[in-house]
Every structure is written in C-alpha cells, then in structure tokens.
C-alpha cells in the first residue's frame, strides 16, 4: 500500500474534504475498525478528533460493520451499505469488505468529531476563476485601444463631409 485516500466529512458545514495519507501515516491506521476514534495527529491534522465510518477496497467493494474481520466476503443482507433494492424485505447476496482496515483498503471515510485550530482547507480561488479574471482583464485592455481608433475615424469622416 502506497497511499490511502481519506474523506473527511464535516457535519457542521456539510462539506467533505479529501486528504491523501502517505504510507508512514497509513500504517498507523492498520487494524483499526469501523467506529474507532482516531486522533488527527495520525494523519497530520493537529487538534482534530475523527471517527472511522467506512471505506472501500481497491476493487470498490464497500466496508460493512456487520462483516467481521479482514478481507472480502459474501453476505446475505436486506439493506444498508452496498445494497440497492426496490422491494423491501428481499435478501440479496453481496460482496463486501470486513470492518478492519488492511493493506487492500483504498479509501477511508471519516467524520470530524472535534475541530482543531487550523482549518482543513485554505480559501483559495479555483484555477477556473483565475482564468476568468485574466480573460476579463485582457478583454478590457483590448476594448480600450479599439475604441480610440474608432473615434478618430468618425472624426475624420465628419471632417471629410464638411
């Protein structure tokens, strides 16, 4: 396992933040289970307290709390994570991943329980907004020189008519 994608959900604002955790920090998360509380220092977030809520492995199969242990297994379930059904009460067999975090887990979902001093994401404008500003400034620069010659031609035309 080289890196682990951690999705942090902020219940106060309703926003989610994605953080890529390198191998050294990801090793500290190994063998933890869904529902375990983690200090933010383990993933370089000082002062934060997090709770593991789920995740998925490299093949995209979801982690489920009722599938004990490590690795993939097939369960017979009525509803919950990984089950989409129209009919209520119909049991379906689905492949899911157990509750423990191992080297096959690619994404980990966490909820922020306690906020730290530093914000998760600095407020910065997206590259698209920067491009829009640059194009607007360029358009203004292009418009101003075009207007000046247009006025001169109008003056020349009125002088020629006289």
DSSP 55-96: EEETT-PBB-TTS-SSSEEEEEESSSTT---SSTT--EEEEE
- pLDDT at residue 98 above 60? yes
According to the model, what pLDDT value does residue 127 have? 57
- For residue 104, CA distances in Å to 8, 21, 22, 26, 112 come to 20, 14, 15, 12, 24
According to the model, what pLDDT value does residue 89 have? 76
Which band of pLDDT confidence, cut at 50, 70 and 90, is reported for residue 103?
Answer: confident
């Amino acid at each position: 396992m080289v890196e682990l994608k951690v999705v942090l959900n902020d219940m106060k604002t309703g926003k989610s933040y994605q953080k890529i955790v390198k191998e050294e920090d990801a090793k500290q998360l190994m063998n933890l289970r869904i529902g375990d509380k983690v200090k933010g220092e383990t993933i370089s977030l000082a002062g934060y307290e997090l709770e593991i809520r789920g995740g998925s492995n490299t093949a995209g199969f979801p982690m489920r709390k009722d599938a004990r242990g490590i690795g993939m297994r097939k369960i017979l379930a009525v509803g919950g994570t990984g089950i989409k059904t129209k009919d209520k009460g119909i049991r379906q067999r689905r492949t899911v991943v157990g509750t423990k975090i191992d080297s096959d887990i690619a994404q980990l979902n966490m909820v922020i329980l306690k906020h730290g001093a530093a914000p998760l994401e600095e407020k910065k404008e997206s590259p698209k907004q920067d491009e829009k500003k640059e194009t607007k400034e360029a358009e203004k620069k292009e418009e101003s020189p075009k207007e000046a010659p247009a006025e001169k031609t109008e003056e020349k035309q009125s002088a020629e008519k006289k």
